[in-house]
Structure 1
Amino acid sequence: MTSVLKSIRSSDLLFSLVRKRRTTHKLGRERTLQKDTITGILRNALLVTPSSFNSQTTRMILMLDDDNRKLWDIAERCLEDVCGDNGVPPDTKDKLEDFRGANGTVLFYEDREAVSALRSNPKFTTFAQYFNSWSDQTNAMHKYLVWSALCTEGLGATLQHYNPLIDQKVADEWQINRDWELLGQLVFGKPAGPIKEKSFLPMENRLIIHDEKQEKSG
């Protein structure tokens, strides 16, 4: 067994795990992962995910159980205000009901005050215009890592973007720092429905390789 494992590249093991990351909309309420395990995943993601100049501007809030249900109640009320007399579309109401019934939701924020401090730092004048973009990129890396980790533990998850519609109401309800900008909501729970097959574009349209040695030999 040891010799077999040695023959498998470390990157192959990594990709075998991250391939488990998929979008799952039908999520059950049954708790299959302990709160401490979920919290550990979030802590580890915050520790290992890179950020520009190690600025660490990403923030997360974990909503479980009643708080998760309250979160998606708020989202539905916000949608009702926008939709008016037409009402929230039935398919959207069904999605919100699934999210309410999930284990929980991770809210991903960027601390814009911290990003602003980077932009105004004389040491980083050359890069000032890029910090907003870079902070968004590091936030996306946190989402991907947490999403992948939850799926490797057997959970399903779906990344949603009800921001900025829900931002104010959510901040008011949980007294969230006003300098934090909400950038996404990762809903997770026990998979309760089929996962669609994923299609792929041709690799030759997505990956270009320049090899100077190969070009010269050709």
Structure 2
Amino acid sequence: MNSKFNNLSTKRRSIYALGDNLSQTPEEIFSLVKETIKNSPTAFNSQTVRAVVLFGAKSDKVWDIVADALQKIVKDPDAFAKTKAKLATFKAGYGTILFLTDTATVHHLEKEYPSYADNFANWAEQGLGGAQQAVWTALAENGIGASLQHYNPLIDDAIHQAFDLPEEWQLRAEMPFGSIEAPAGEKTHLDDNQLFKLIK
């Protein structure tokens, strides 16, 4: 069987050599992110995914916050120098997407459907993962590189304060994106027998 989706998925890779040499405008990228997330499924159509798309100095601020937070816990100067160099590759991109979960909706559903209460947090994570995958692939389709980072909850308070985010929006991941300045490395896979089972 042919699959345009699978062909497109091969373009979705973790790109760490990012630049700001994109032809798309911030408005165009913002629109792409919005439409992609709106069409991504969530349990009970709960729409728990939230996204903040940052450009320019605002995007840089995210990685300055990460650097400040890590400097407080990484005491070895050499180790921090390597960390700071890694963060610089994210900061060099065109922008950053913050992915968050609306915990108010999760808690509302827990009360509304007590029989499923234990599941809603997990289902929100599944919805978030689907949205992240979809956005990442949509960016790749447009020749935009990205990677997915997780410096939360270390940076949660500072991010919320810096960008005046609602308290109930829980930060879950950060996606720096930009022009692809160097390709991703080789992708390896486990043997199919370790991953899949066909039962007829």
The TM-score bracket by the shorter chain reads over 0.9
**What whole-Å deviation, never above 9, does each CA across 1:113-157 have from its counterpart, x for those lacking one?**
110000001xx2211110000001100111000001101111111
Secondary structure (helix, strand or coil) at the match of 2:41 reads: coil
State whether structure 2 residue 53 is matched by structure 1 residue 62. Answer: yes
Match of 2:128 among 103, 124, 139: 139
Match 1:114 to one of 82, 105, 108: 105
User: What is the RMSD of the two structures over their aligned residues, measured on CA atoms?
Assistant: 1.5
Residue identity matched to 1:111? D
Q: Distance in 2 between matches of 1:182 and 1:209?
A: 37
Return the match for 1:91 from 78, 82, 85: 82
How many angstroms apart in 2 are the aligned matches of 1:73 and 1:94? Answer: 12
Structure-2 change in CA distance of 1:87 and 1:81 (3 Å): farther
Q: Does 186-195 or 48-57 show the bigger shift?
A: 186-195
Q: TM-score, normalising length from structure 1?
A: 0.87
| TM-score normalised to structure 2 length | 0.95
Structure 1 residue 27 and structure 2 residue 3: aligned? Answer: no
Over alpha carbons, which structure has the higher Rg?
1
- C-alpha distance in structure 2 between counterparts of 1:22 and 1:32, whole Å: 20
In the alignment, does 2:5 pair up with 1:14?
yes
Partner residue of 1:102 out of 93, 104, 115: 93
Kindly tell me the number of residue pairs found equivalent between the two proteins.
Answer: 200
2:175 is paired with a residue whose SS is strand
The corresponding residue for 2:181 is 192
Structure holding more helix per residue: 1
Q: CA deviation at 1:84?
A: 4.0
- Unpaired stretches in structure 2, ≥5 consecutive residues: none
Partner of 1:206: 195
Contact 1:80 1:87 (8 Å CA) reproduced: no
Q: How many Å separate the matches in 2 of 1:16 and 1:105?
A: 25
User: What is the Cα deviation at residue 85 of structure 1?
Assistant: 6.2
SS in 2 for 1:177: coil
1:153 aligns with 2:142: yes
Residue 60 of structure 1: SS of its match in structure 2? Answer: strand
2:198 partner letter: I
CA, structure 1 residues 88+68, in 2 after alignment: closer, same or farther (shift >3 Å)? farther
Equivalent residues of 2:37, 2:134 under 8 A apart: no
- Per-residue CA deviations over 1:148-173 (Å, capped at 9, x if unaligned) read 11011111111000101111001011
- Using the alignment, how far apart are the partners of 1:172 and 1:29 within structure 2? 26
Q: Work out whether residues 76 and 93 of structure 1, in 8 Å CA contact, stay in contact via their aligned partners in 2.
A: yes
How many percent identity over aligned positions? 30
